Amino acid sequence: RRAVKERIRARKTLAIKAGDAQAGIEELRRALGLDQPLRVIEAYDISNISGTHAVGSLVCSVDGVPQKNRYRMFRIKTVEGIDDPGMMAEVIRRRFSRALDEKERLPDLVLVDGGITQLGAARAQLDALGLRDLPAAGLAKRFEEIFWQQRDPIRLSPDSNALKVLVQIRDEAHRFALTYHRGLRLKRIRESMLDEIEGIGEKRKQLLLKHFGSVARLRKASEQEIAEVRGVGAAVARVV
């Protein structure tokens, strides 16, 4: 119970300064036993509700500073139902397959949100792609434990800059994934309004959305503008 409180307190004190971030990265490098500099960290998270509208996120920091131009979003394509490890595997596979194809510079550390199961899913994909030497770790929320190569997780001091660096980027990955997921859900809810209109099937719905770009723009369109959409017609436009 005390350990949980300490981890919660650590998460509430994440305002980390640039100098502290640099010190935290070096501290983290030593804690993980890495020989190479630890500059670029990529963090990954999965967001879904009961397996629906599942998405993945990638956020990146360089020397502890977020690099938003390197953020990426993924819509899960191959995994159905409640399977976060499977979704994490898909995101990692897609991300690093493309990185290898395009000869991108790889990060110094891959961080996944979750414990040994999510890390195992990510590690398996990296290994399958020939990236066995690419460091990967998992950060589990309950105790903010770092799952690494050894069996027992690493527990850093709640006040350590190394933990603050990891929690900050992990939470940013979670925020980014959740924002994307909410956007998709809201878009689906808005689009479903068209399903309730008589004479609007899936084909006409897609024609209208493609033409106007969104339900919000469709609502502002005149009856004549809607009727001009090929495949819709005046009668349906009047109903809409």
- pLDDT for the residue 188: 61
| Contact present, 83 and 215 (Cβ < 8 Å) | no
Question: Nearest CA to 142 among 182, 162, 170, 100?
Answer: 170
**DSSP E strands: which ranges in the chain?**
40-49, 52-62, 65-66, 72-75, 109-113, 136-140, 145-147
Is pTM beyond 0.75? Reply is no
Token pair 């994490």 is found at 88
> Looking at per-residue confidence, does 101 or 55 come out higher?
101
Other Cβ atoms closer than 10 A to 82: 13
Q: What share of the chain is helix, strand, coil (3-state, %, to 5)?
A: 50, 15, 30
User: What is the pLDDT of the chain when averaged over all its residues?
Assistant: 83
Contacts of 84 (CB under 8 A, 6+ apart): 46, 48, 114, 118
pLDDT digits (tens, 9 = 90+) for 143-179: 899 999 766 889 999 889 999 999 999 989 888 887 8
pLDDT (0 to 100) of residue 184: 61
List the single range of 63-67, 72-76, 194-198 with lowest mean pLDDT: 194-198
The more confidently predicted of residues 42 and 223 is 42
User: Could you read off the pLDDT of 172-229 as tens digits, one per residue?
Assistant: 988 888 786 676 666 665 555 666 677 677 777 777 777 877 777 887 888 888 888 8
pLDDT score for 4:
42
Separation CA 147–CA 12 (nearest Å) = 22
Contact (CB, 8 A) for 14 and 164: yes
